[in-house]
A and B are shown apart, each in its own frame.
Chain A
Amino acid sequence: MSTVIERPRSNRWLLWLVVSLAVVGALALMVDDWGQLWKISSAPDNIPIVMMIPLVVFFTWLGLKQSKDNDKLVGELEEDPALAKSHHRKTQPWRPGWARELHVWPYLVRVEFLAAIIVTIILFVWSILLNAPLEEPANPNLTMNPSKAPWYFLGLQEMLVYFDPWIAGVVMPSLLLVGLMVFPYVDSNPLGNGYYSWRQRRFAVSMFLWGFFMWIILIIIGTFIRGPGWMWFWPGQTWDHNRVVFDRNRDLHEIVAGWGLPFLNLYPWKAIFGAVVVGVVFVTGGLFFHWLMLRRRLEWADIKSPARLKGWAKKNGEFEEKLLARTSILQYLTFQFFAITVLWLFPVKLLLRLLFTIKYIWVTPWFNV
């Protein structure tokens, strides 16, 4: 069925190479203290994170590559109903007469056996080359600075910067886990079950990627950027234990009160103001996700022409509307709740804090957000 298409040889890779080398070079020039950078990234317990970054990049590529292949096949079959009837509908090769199933012994068992051997070898080599860390004996009178949670919990520890501990340490993780668990129940799309696809599941996949990458970015911030006193040190900046940062951590209502609305500094106005702002964030988040889930695929041509881009932003996709029609109100509201709190409120809070040093957006006598 397949025909070999000769593609013109492109030199685009050369351009990419030059650009990425330039970026790496520029970043390297910004590094002030290579020793510090090496110290952080070679700390034995940080090796998994250093290792995880290329792994995540590789597997994202591997997954999206297979999605692209499947999407191409779906596109061909959509246009040719006759082919859709006769095609075996996979990108993997198949010929009439080939068995659709193989015996697990030996075809699967040998793969598993090989995987076990490879993992064992990796573990042995890793364990011979690198020692597990062991610091001085535990001493409650000598606080480690920075004292960090294990790397996989650094995301939570980093959240402590943006939220009060009961939100960062208890509510957010719970929401994250419950949000993960409801994921299959709010995804009403019947397509893409058991094969890689981007075309048919853009919204679901991008929502997960958003959360997954956010988690990994928080870990990277917690590992490579947070130094003594949990202060922000750019990679390559020396961890100065005597550094003092004059952060003007203000609450949002204080800033707005400074614009000629002094009553906002008083109860109950500041609590009401905060509730309104949080409400606005929730509503804009909801509108954003609603808008995003109805977008059809953004094509290269759309980006090039402003008129087409406007059309893309305004007109709902046909397939996407069908999917929304399949979604029950309960599914929709559940999704919106978790998406807004985990995927929207959190980045908003992060940016407000990091860019504008705003501490709370909602202050009440009982809790602060």
Chain B
Amino acid sequence: MEPERPEGNGSGESGELAPKGRGAGLVSRARAQGLALKERAEAEAKTYKDPQQTQLWKSIFRVSHDRSDPRNRSLAILSNVFLHLHPAKVNRDATRYSFTWGMGGITFYLFIVLTFTGILLMFYYHPTKVQAFRDILYLEHDVPFGKLLRNMHRWAAHLMIITTWLHMFRVVLTGSYKRPREFNWCVGVVLLVLTLLLSFTGYLLPDDQLGFWAVTVGTNMARSTPMLGSEGPFGPQMGMTPFNDVRFGLLGGSIVDSNALLRSYIWHCIGIPVVASLFMAVHFWRIRKDGGISGPAPVMLESEMKAVKK
């Protein structure tokens, strides 16, 4: 908005007011121009009082969220990259906590918390036999808030497993895996496995007795894989030895050592999170495509059950 200029401003031709002489004319012209600039700046500054009307704001937020008409409420969701996974409207009873328990959302939120704390932890951690354990000590005793960081990562991981199970439990109790959501249930089962594997691969990283023996116990089972493990049924017949079987592949060696630490680290920080993110994308996308949240749906009656089409 261009503030309107006062009449005759800056032209220096309004003869009546102008004092005589060249020097006097210059001063009065400059004064008049200065006044005009001030007025203009004041008028402009008024427009900045509402930050939401500035070009900068409008370039970031595409719609105004301060009015609560239906169009704006819908746009608030639809035009936001983080929220657009949501529909604009939702079953009124689905916003009650008692139906969904919020467990799926909390699981995803914990994944975000874990990514955030995990990235920060990566700054202080080397996946090598020499340094790994010392890095944990360093985190616990020297890094500012290092202990809090590690604790949060640990407890969020445990909590995520519990919330994943409870989410699955709720989906079963509400029959939400039923048509058309069968496939998304399967994606969810894959995500459950990935969650467990994420936690398991992280267990080894402190390189302490707890992680070492837990992973030893866990990977020892892989020895017994049928056909692919050196001690499994038909394993020896397939040419499997402790130095080429599936356990060797998992650990990068025949014992839990430096290669296992590195493999565990890469699976934990890159491999599984990437795969899990892909499955999450499908999982969330399918929720929308399969008709959004499943309920609370109106109850059906036994007497209304249709006969099977044969």
Cross-interface CB contact of A192 among B159, B162, B175, cutoff 8 Å = B175
Q: How far is the CA of A115 from the CA of B101 in the complex (A)?
A: 10
Give Cα A325 to B88, complex, Å: 40
Q: Count contacts on B: residues with CB < 8 A to the other chain.
A: 106
Residue ID in chain A nearest B235 by CB atoms: A166
Nearest CB in chain B to that of A88: its residue: B298
Contact between A191 and B302, CB atoms less than 8 A apart: yes
Residues of B123-139 at the interface with A, using a CB-CB cut-off of 8 Å, are: 133, 136-137
Using Cβ atoms and an 8 Å threshold, which residues of chain B touch A190? 178-179, 300, 305-306
B91–A101 CB distance below 8 A: yes
CA distance A29 to B154 in the complex (A): 35
Contacts of B87 in A (CB 8 A): 104
Return chain A residues, CB-CB under 8 Å to B172. Answer: 183, 204-205, 208
Q: Which of A90, A116, A143, A147 contacts B296 (CB 8 A)?
A: A90
Binds A, one of B23-31, B51-59, B73-81: B73-81
Question: Which of A48, A127, A133, A180: most chain B Cβ within 10 A?
Answer: A127
Known A92-B96, A147-B217; contact A78-B301, beta-carbon cutoff 8 A = yes
With A104-B89, A195-B299 already in contact, the answer to whether A166 and B155 are too (CB < 8 A) is: no
A174 to chain B, nearest CB (A): 10
Alpha-carbon distance A139/B88, docked complex (angstroms)? 56
B249: chain A residues within 8 A (beta carbon): none
Stretch at the interface among A59-67, A243-251, A278-286, A305-313: A59-67
- How far, in angstroms, from A134 to B209 measured CA to CA in the complex? 8
Which A residues are in CB contact (< 8 Å) with B133?
Answer: 137-138
The 4 A-B residue pairs with the shortest CB-CB distance, nearest first, are A169-B221, A194-B297, A194-B295, A89-B298
Q: A-side interface residues toward B, CB under 8 Å?
A: 45, 47-48, 51-52, 55-56, 59-60, 62-64, 66-67, 70, 73-74, 77-78, 84, 88-92, 98-109, 111-112, 115-116, 119-120, 122-124, 126-128, 130-140, 142-144, 147-153, 156-157, 160, 164-166, 168-171, 177, 180-181, 183-185, 187, 189-197, 200-201, 204-205, 208, 212, 319, 322, 325-326, 366-367
Interface residues of B (CB under 8 A from A): 65, 70, 73-74, 76-77, 83, 86-99, 101-102, 105-106, 109-110, 113, 133, 136-137, 140, 147-148, 150-156, 158-159, 161-162, 165-166, 169-170, 172-179, 181-182, 185-186, 189, 192-193, 196, 199-200, 203, 206-214, 216-218, 220-226, 229, 231-233, 255-256, 294-303, 305-306, 308
